Copies of this chain bind each other. A is one copy, B any other.
């Protein structure tokens, strides 16, 4: 089996999960698809369809048990375990990412930081010492790295990604604004800030006349 699950579904699952965690903290035990839809900006049918790809988690006439559904989603998303992450690039973006507590609290441990700049190598960031990018393959194998966050200049990024992949990493989060080539079976996500801003520019230019 292993049906193809669409990207948009996956994004919504991640959102549902966050909402369920909040509900749980508030001590709410049960939630309907209607309610979950309201909180996630989608429709009740969409919520039910998204969940239905993985099983039947609700009770008819009642809704979903918050804790139970949260646990299911966590398992579905592969978040019942922790992931080992290498951060390549200790510049501004890398540094902000390293300090972002949200990663650790959601199961992603940055176990190593690497940079090509000799003046950065050896610096201590909290628990980790910045290593030399030359040792990339070594570090990945030694730390059993699962995921690479790549925050290096656009000229360097394809080279880094090739090495990371050949060292066995199958999940990559890229911050450089290029279309990267990765082999089949490697999951790649891009975060392109410029692309997002340009999309805003496009919207603003088109709907200029729709004022309040």
Binding site for B on A (CB under 8 A): 2, 5, 7, 10-11, 13-15, 17-18, 39-41, 76-79, 83, 92-93, 95-97, 99-100, 102-103, 106-108, 146-147, 170-173, 177-179, 181, 183-185, 187, 189, 191-207, 210-212
Contact = CB atoms under 8 A, between A and B. Distances in A.
13 contacts: A10-B202, A11-B199, A14-B202, A78-B201, A83-B201, A83-B204, A92-B96, A97-B193, A102-B193, A106-B194, A171-B204, A173-B196, A185-B210
B102 A177 contact: yes
A172 B199 CA distance: 11
A83 B205 CA distance: 11
Contacts of A77: 198, 201-202, 205
Contacts of A78: 201-202, 204-206
A11 B191 CA distance: 12
For A78, A95, A107, the residue with the greatest tally of chain B CB atoms inside 10 Å of its CB is A78
For the complex formed by this chain, how many copies does it contain in all? Answer: 2
A123 B2 CA distance: 53
A201 B172 CA distance: 10
A200 B212 contact: no
B173 A187 contact: no
A185 to B, nearest CB: 5
Contact of A179 (B15, B92, B96, B170): B15
B14 A102 contact: no
A13 B7 CA distance: 20
Contacts of A177: 18, 102
A188 to B, nearest CB: 8
Given A10-B198, A96-B96, A171-B201, 4 more contacts: A11-B195, A78-B202, A147-B204, A170-B207
